[in-house]
Amino acid sequence: MTGLRGVLFVGLPVAVILGFWLLARWEYRHGRDSHRQSFVARNGWPVVAFVVAAVGFWALVMIVLPQLYMVDFSFHPKLPPSQRGGPRDVYTLENYRYFLFGSTRSTASWNVTHITAFWLTIAVSMCITVLNFVICYPLAYFMAQVGTGSQVRKLMLLLIIPYWVNELLRAFAFNILFGTSGVLNVILLCTGVIASPIDFIGQDIALYSGLTYAYLLVMMFPLYNALESLDHNQIEAARDLGAPWWHVHLHVVMPFAKPGIASGCTLVFMLCAGALAAPLVLGGPKTLWFTPIVYDRFYQAFNWNQGAAYAIVLLLTCILFVMMVMRVFRVSLSEITR
């Protein structure tokens, strides 16, 4: 067991590094450009050593190892510390079985609550991503192409300052805003728009608003960056050729900003599906959101193995989903990181 684990934790990273090194060698040999010096020749050994060590440490210790540990965890049964590594500590699928069927052994009935919460989380995250795009696109377009320098600076400040406030604090503020006796209900009652208070929290309106608000900037900046590099003359050229404004946006502006749109949407979707603070604070008693369930596996059920399995299911589904959407819209991974 320890032997296998050792191979997994030491061998895999080494194999990955070796793979990258071979790739780099191959590229160096085949794409050789006589005018270009190698990275080493340009920067010297100390710099190269530092960059490799720093990036390697960051990638391996901070990202790859914890994730690998979680993957390994998810395939083990929950055991008291004394039995870990013992004869009962075997590789098993029971944690995944529990997610699907609500039991570690039987496959008789589906785990409806968790599966519903899972798909609801994905679906709602998708809706919030779209909503975020709808809100941010006009604003980003205005800031990047229309507004004057001082207008853009003011808007930027207005956008950024709320984010100095802690995420949890913002969620609580939304809770106060949307509560049954909250500001919004009071205003609506006083102005006579409604006769009795609306349960914003119970109906998840507070949660969805909070999530939308939480990731506005994450959508905003990639969009703004992409739109800002668009030559304004292209918009004018399209106008001059007779295009109505929606045609210009659909066929000139959006295709150009596609990498930014993809990058913003991916980030918002991923962060939204993995959000914890907002669902915990703004979720009502009947709210179904997947991350609090994962949290409960860890800290209520004290079943880290099951929690790891749940988290991995969410992670893999999100990655697959994003890849699929990128495929549909013909965006490559390298474009997103541009």
Looking at beta carbons only, is 162 or 244 nearer to other proteins?
Answer: 244
Looking at beta carbons only, is 136 or 252 nearer to other proteins?
Answer: 252
Give the one residue of 143, 184, 220, 238 binding other proteins; rule: CB under 8 A.
238
C-alpha distances in Å from residue 280, one per residue of 56, 203, 292:
35, 15, 7
Establish if 151 lies at the interface with other proteins (CB under 8 A).
Answer: no
Residue tagged 């960059």 (tokens): 51
| Per rule CB under 8 A, count of chain residues that contact other proteins | 17
- Cα separation of 73 and 304, whole Å? 8
- Cα separation of 81 and 37, whole Å? 55
Sole window of 176-184, 197-205, 246-254, 304-312 interacting with other proteins (rule: CB under 8 A): 246-254
Two structure tokens written together for 163? 């984010």
Residue tagged 């119970």 (tokens): 202
Of 215-234, binders to other proteins (CB under 8 A) are 231, 233-234
Two structure tokens written together for 312? 């991995």
Two structure tokens written together for 285? 């008693």
Q: Which helix (H) or strand (E) holds 153?
A: helix 149-160
Count of beta carbons in the 10 Å neighbourhood of residue 35: 4
Establish if 242 lies at the interface with other proteins (CB under 8 A).
Answer: yes
Establish if 146 lies at the interface with other proteins (CB under 8 A).
Answer: no
Contact 213, 281 (CB under 8 A): no
Looking at beta carbons only, is 97 or 258 nearer to other proteins?
Answer: 258
Least distance CB 287 / other proteins (angstroms)? 42
Give the one residue of 48, 67, 239, 280 binding other proteins; rule: CB under 8 A.
239
Give the one residue of 107, 130, 255, 324 binding other proteins; rule: CB under 8 A.
255
Establish if 244 lies at the interface with other proteins (CB under 8 A).
Answer: yes
Two structure tokens written together for 262? 């993809």
Give the one residue of 16, 54, 130, 241 binding other proteins; rule: CB under 8 A.
241
Looking at beta carbons only, is 218 or 238 nearer to other proteins?
Answer: 238
Looking at beta carbons only, is 107 or 234 nearer to other proteins?
Answer: 234
8-state DSSP, 128: H
Count of beta carbons in the 10 Å neighbourhood of residue 301: 11
Q: What are the DSSP calls for 67-116, one per residue?
A: HHHHHHHHTS----GGGTTSTT-----HHHHHHHHSSSS--SS--HHHHH
Q: Which sign does the torsion angle of CA 151, 157, 160, 165 carry? A: negative
Of 256-315, binders to other proteins (CB under 8 A) are 256
Establish if 236 lies at the interface with other proteins (CB under 8 A).
Answer: yes
Count of beta carbons in the 10 Å neighbourhood of residue 264: 29
Q: What are the DSSP calls for 282-308, one per residue?
A: H--TT---HHHHHHHHHHTS--HHHHH
Looking at beta carbons only, is 263 or 291 nearer to other proteins?
Answer: 263
Least distance CB 251 / other proteins (angstroms)? 8
Give the one residue of 12, 152, 156, 243 binding other proteins; rule: CB under 8 A.
243
Establish if 237 lies at the interface with other proteins (CB under 8 A).
Answer: yes
Looking at beta carbons only, is 217 or 253 nearer to other proteins?
Answer: 253
Looking at beta carbons only, is 75 or 256 nearer to other proteins?
Answer: 256
Establish if 136 lies at the interface with other proteins (CB under 8 A).
Answer: no
Chain contacts with other proteins (rule: CB under 8 A): 231, 233-234, 236-244, 247, 251-252, 255-256
